[in-house]
Amino acid sequence: MISTLLVANRGEIAHRVFRTCAELGIRTVAVHSDADENALHARVADAAVRLPGATPAQTYLRGDLIVKAALAAGADAVHPGYGFLSENPDFARAVLDAGLLWIGPPPAAIEAMASKTRAKELMGIAPLGEVTEDDLPVLVKAAAGGGGRGMRVVRRLADLPAALDSAAAEAASAFGDGEVFVEPYVERGRHVEVQILADTHGTVWTLGTRDCSLQRRHQKVIEEAPAPGLGPRLTEELYALAVRAARAVSYVGAGTVEFLVADGRAHFLEMNTRLQVEHPVTEAVFGLDLVAEQLRVAEGHPLPAAPPAARGHAVEARLYAEDPAHDWAPQTGTLHRLAVPAGVRLDTGYTGGDTIGVHYDPMLAKVVAHAPTRAEALRRLAGALERAEVHGPVTNRDLLIRSLRHPEFAAGPVDTGFYDRHLAELTRPAPDVHAPLAAALADAHGRSRFGGWRNVPAQPQTKRYEMAGDEVEVRYRHTRQGPVADGVRVVHADARTVVLEVDGVRRKFEIARYGDQVYVGATRLTALPRFPDPAAQLAPGSLLAPMPGTVVRVADGLAEGTTVTAGQPLIWLEAMKMQHQITAPVAGTLTALHARPGQQVEPGLLLAVVQPT
């Protein structure tokens, strides 16, 4: 029986495993980097061990340090979570060699499936050889790891060498393994997977299907179970292939077999020998705790002959600190508040006041809704996200809501090209036009007494805000009856709540303020100074760092005086485990270059200047 469990991970998944351990009466041990010293997972564990450093390579990818931490804390078992070392067979062996229980499949099974190239060979799939024009488009893919890292779509043969280099560099940074391979890229396929659970007594469960086709940068955004519209024949084929993969490597524990479904056929992609990020939708549909099942299997308990019956439909949305409208740029800073309404599940590694740093994945939370039907589950999740309080850096919350309500998605299954087709409309700004007035009235409360009316004409009060990239100015007046604004009746106003009546309809606004950041419901505003700072003006063509990160590359031969074309990649930044290109905004001449490889940058730092032609 497991008495003390160390989770060799961080954030949301560590916190989620600890929650099950608390229910089972198992003591918990966290490991944390210096950047995560005050992170939620380190705070809630019964014990925590420091891993010196901040980057994954210094900390969560150091299996030797994690094994030492487990032994020092008196743990008798290690759960790897997902990502980092979760699919590293050498780490699994090191855990077992130290006399600890490994919560996962045997190292040999991990090794057989850890490389996507070897996994395809095991399933009888020949790799793509030398690439020709007839093979395009193709997908460059990291052999190790997942999460969309180390993946590049190539549509021109001339772009293949650069794609191989950049994918290998990103994979080496994220997984410690720079091996990549090339496979055909299917434009309109669906990403469908099967959850499996196997014990040490020969029983293999298939726990339904999941559809994970809504992706950005090959990383999942919205997942659901069961996958809609597959039909019984294709579903049974997927189950059979999943069981075949599991039995081929004598699999034990929880795992996922992933497929690309196109033209009514299933194409094997890979097997993830770990718990998936999207496992909560399967838990909701089958009424299971997959982490608890992992622990029971590791202790040697047999599974029943058949899994429980599925019921209803579940949908999960990943809430990321990123800006979808600006190339999915990750965001950092203080998360002031994160709360969702009752009736949905929230899995997160953050609470209000925590800092979102640059070293790790930008996912803040997963929000999961379960209902009798798919339509009800989509409606419930969209409504919960709309009412959620997410105060802090820019997130993809609005994109998630619009995606869930989009007619194409609501009508049934979609393919992985959904965001390629619809991103512009899904990220078009649509702020609440009355939010600035509500913010201004709340801000004025306490600064001047609304009841202090004098029998002289009142001068208009003005307040400026930045909203959805635009500057807006609010005007209102103080009267005997209180503040008034054109076309709007102010029913009530205090520092936290404003009630406005527009065209006979009364609306209530909840306001929260953190410095110059103001949140009016789901609308985010920035209070602007009364007089703009003239020093804040920048030369046209200035390239600013969009996020904190590290300059990992500057384009070959780039120097002051170089002629560049619009959209040409000039600088590569690495942030939150992914690389981001900084491109020339216009065609012209590079007149200044301040970025250098290895340089740490903060948002807004001037990297280069391109003088327009």
Spatial separation of the C-alpha atoms in residues 582 and 572, rounded to whole Å: 6
Spatial separation of the C-alpha atoms in residues 19 and 76, rounded to whole Å: 18
For residue 546, pLDDT beyond 90:
no
**Triad 349, 279, 260: Cα angle to 5°:** 125
DSSP string, 192-257: EEEEEEE-TTS-EEEEEEEEEEEEETTEEEEEEESPTT--HHHHHHHHHHHHHHHHHTT--EEEEE
Query: Residue 147: what pLDDT?
Result: 64
Higher pLDDT, 96 or 142: 96
Query: Residue 451: what pLDDT?
Result: 44
- Considering Cα of 277, then 234, then 264, then 145, what sign does the dihedral take? positive
- Length of the chain as a residue count: 613
Mean pLDDT of 459-480: 88
Mean pLDDT of 182-188: 82
Query: Residue 448: what pLDDT?
Result: 54
Mean pLDDT of 175-201: 89
Counting Cα atoms < 13 Å in the Cβ hemisphere of 259 gives 28
Mean pLDDT of 262-285: 94
For residue 233, pLDDT beyond 70:
yes
Query: Residue 613: what pLDDT?
Result: 84
Mean pLDDT of 75-80: 98
Beta carbons within 8 Å of 140's beta carbon, 6+ residues apart? 150, 151, 152, 153, 154, 160, 163, 164, 167, 180, 181, 182
Query: Residue 503: what pLDDT?
Result: 92
Burial of residue 135 (number of CB atoms within 10 Å: 0-12, 13-18, 19+): middle
Query: Residue 215: what pLDDT?
Result: 95
Query: Residue 453: what pLDDT?
Result: 46
Confidence of residue 173 (pLDDT cuts 50, 70, 90): confident
For residue 387, pLDDT beyond 70:
yes
Q: Are 207 and 195 in contact (CB under 8 A)?
A: yes
Mean pLDDT of 222-233: 97
Query: Residue 569: what pLDDT?
Result: 92
The rounded mean pLDDT for the chain is 91
pLDDT in tens, 23-43: 999 999 999 999 999 999 999
Q: Domains in the chain, start-ordered, CATH in brackets?
A: 4-103 (3.40.50.20), 113-184 (3.30.1490.20), 191-404 (3.30.470.20), 435-527 (3.30.700.40), 535-612 (2.40.50.100)
Query: Residue 316: what pLDDT?
Result: 98
For residue 492, pLDDT beyond 90:
yes
- Considering Cα of 332, then 334, then 337, then 339, what sign does the dihedral take? positive
Counting Cα atoms < 13 Å in the Cβ hemisphere of 184 gives 12
Mean pLDDT of 369-388: 98
Least confident range of 89-98, 292-301, 347-356, 597-606: 597-606
Task: Find the radius of gyration of the CA atoms of the chain.
Answer: 26
Percent of the chain surpassing pLDDT 70: 95
Higher pLDDT, 246 or 613: 246
Query: Residue 450: what pLDDT?
Result: 45
Percent of the chain surpassing pLDDT 90: 72
Query: Residue 24: what pLDDT?
Result: 98
Strand order in the sheet with 190-198: 265-272, 253-262, 190-198, 204-216, 219-225, 313-320, 363-371, 345-348
For residue 146, pLDDT beyond 70:
no
Query: Residue 539: what pLDDT?
Result: 72
For residue 460, give Cα distances in angstroms to 6, 265, 417, 466, 475. 61, 66, 50, 20, 6
- The SS3 of residue 276 is coil
Say which residue the tokens 């384009």 belong to: 555
Query: Residue 143: what pLDDT?
Result: 79
For residue 116, pLDDT beyond 80:
no
Query: Residue 537: what pLDDT?
Result: 61
The per-residue b/e assignment along 206-217, b for 16 or more CB within 10 angstroms, e otherwise, is bbbbbbbbbbbb
Beta carbons within 8 Å of 407's beta carbon, 6+ residues apart? none
Q: Are 31 and 98 in contact (CB under 8 A)?
A: no
For residue 211, give Cα distances in angstroms to 259, 307, 315, 409. 10, 20, 10, 12
Query: Residue 452: what pLDDT?
Result: 46
For residue 536, pLDDT beyond 70:
no
Query: Residue 469: what pLDDT?
Result: 86
pLDDT in tens, 421-467: 999 999 999 989 999 999 999 998 856 544 444 555 557 889 999 99
Strands 505-514 and 497-502: antiparallel
State both tokens at 102: 């490994």
Spatial separation of the C-alpha atoms in residues 489 and 486, rounded to whole Å: 8
Higher pLDDT, 35 or 120: 35
281: number of Cβ within 10 Å: 28
